Structure 1
């Protein structure tokens, strides 16, 4: 598979994550860890079906248990830390810190063998982060000194997902089928955390159940499989910067659905994110001339 094709497949995850907010609204009032457990169960199940259809169970048996532990730590760790941060700090500010992960992916990628981190990648990531900040902090109450623990958890959240994404590059020979096991193990741990920390609430409407199914099939299902392909075989720097399109696209989806309103800040954010992505793409293009 060419790097360009793998990068395109990885970007599908960004498109799917842009639907996360819309579908999550429809699942109210299901608590987050319970929702995570259900959705990852669906995501893991579709992965097993795909593996079965392609005769891949033998490949799963050959995967080292340490890789399963690594993948589970990445998926479960990110979501648990994210929800824990939101419990301990203002949502907008904690969300912004958590959304440092694309920038961290770009920076950490420079430590990978055979990867070249250019100035354009770094500048592009910073500009795109500024655009994302305008969206995430819209309506925020400002950073609060008594929420430092929550901000710390949000930073750990960002480090976890960036570390998972970059280190996955070192596991290029591990089949993407293994993500199904990551998902199912994450579902099990999320269920345990839910029972310990939350009160169980089931959807009361058809819309609620449909939204959960959509989440499990897309943003909390297929997205992790295509992201795995992208970070293992694609242009990881470009994917990192392009990930800042997710909050922009998510807001646009909410506007189309009549849940949010268009603002000048959104337009400026769109320009910043697009500019940042263009700079990163240009840096990647000059670096990949002559490569397949």
Structure 2
């Protein structure tokens, strides 16, 4: 069990580092090109792992599922994240992203037709209040750019929430590795298409640090985090694993302050804590009976 928890925490550390690298890469590459490069490399790695395990990737027969997942989980989520990180700090983006479990909860009854408990909805409201406090407690001067950045991060949370619940639906027909590789392929394709006519050579300013960040987001923040999280879920069980996603904003704030020397106002800090608490409440109490049964089975 301890090994499983350690893997879950490791995954959130890798994801937290993605926000820091995204902040470093903001002036180096346009968001769409950054996303194309990142997921292009990740796709090659994932397809290679599939080939090593002698598994095929049904890009044509499952094109609709892969295209939908690739749009929301790879193209929309990551691109919006990188766009937002150009305008707001990594710490603030990470705290807003604490609302991801809430986004998942909001789409669950509509996509999966599962009932959500009242306490989970209360947790949702608490998280929304936390996000409002984050908006009011920005440590940077209020500007149109920062507001747009905050909206972009919120939209990325909604995109990931929809990707997650759709992934649960499509996951009944394929394994997680195949689904992730297929989504990565189509998401990369969409990102590449979005670069046409919008990316110019004079917008690219790569440095040694930028290249290291590219390597990190393409490996540790993508493939490494994926394997750590799924291995942790397999050991600890889905029910126990869900709340650990809330470590993501914690690591992001720690890394932002330590590596980027970011400063956080007290109201922003309070807003982040409230957002995380609401998300934890939603995650813990929002489990259906079916999820609990699956958790018990995974522990046998």
Aligned pairs, number? 279
Greater alpha carbon shift after TM alignment, 106-115 vs 201-210: 106-115
Residues 102/109 of structure 1: CA separation in 2 closer, same or farther (3 Å cut): same
* Per-residue Cα deviation, 1:114-163 (whole angstroms, up to 9, x for no partner): 8442223222233344445555652355586xx89x99877665443322
Please give the alpha-carbon distance, in whole angstroms, between the structure 1 residues aligned to 2:19 and 2:143: 23
3-state SS of paired residue (2:185):
helix
* Per-residue Cα deviation, 1:85-120 (whole angstroms, up to 9, x for no partner): 889xx758x969887543221122234658442223
Q: For residue 182 of structure 1, what is the aligned residue in structure 2? A: 183
TM-score under structure 2 length normalisation: 0.70
TM-score under structure 1 length normalisation: 0.72
The unaligned stretches of length 5 or more in structure 1 are: none
Coordinate RMSD, CA, aligned: 4.4
Given that residues 16 and 223 in structure 1 are in contact (C-alpha distance below 8 angstroms), is that contact kept between their aligned partners in structure 2?
yes
Q: For residue 22 of structure 2, what is the aligned residue in structure 1? A: 24
Residues 197/225 of structure 1: CA separation in 2 closer, same or farther (3 Å cut): farther
After TM superposition, the structure 1 = structure 2 runs for residues 1-292 of structure 1, keeping only pairs within 5 Å, are 13-27=11-25, 28-57=27-56, 60=58, 64-74=62-72, 75-80=74-79, 101-111=100-110, 115-131=114-130, 134-135=133-134, 138-139=138-139, 157-172=156-171, 173-178=173-178, 179-200=180-201, 201-202=203-204, 204-223=206-225, 234-235=238-239, 239=242, 243-261=245-263, 264-265=266-267, 267-269=269-271, 271-273=273-275, 275-280=277-282, 282-283=284-285, 288=292, 291-292=296-297
Please give the alpha-carbon distance, in whole angstroms, between the structure 2 residues aligned to 1:229 and 1:166: 20
The unaligned stretches of length 5 or more in structure 2 are: none
Please give the alpha-carbon distance, in whole angstroms, between the structure 2 residues aligned to 1:274 and 1:158: 14
Given that residues 98 and 248 in structure 2 are in contact (C-alpha distance below 8 angstroms), is that contact kept between their aligned partners in structure 1?
no
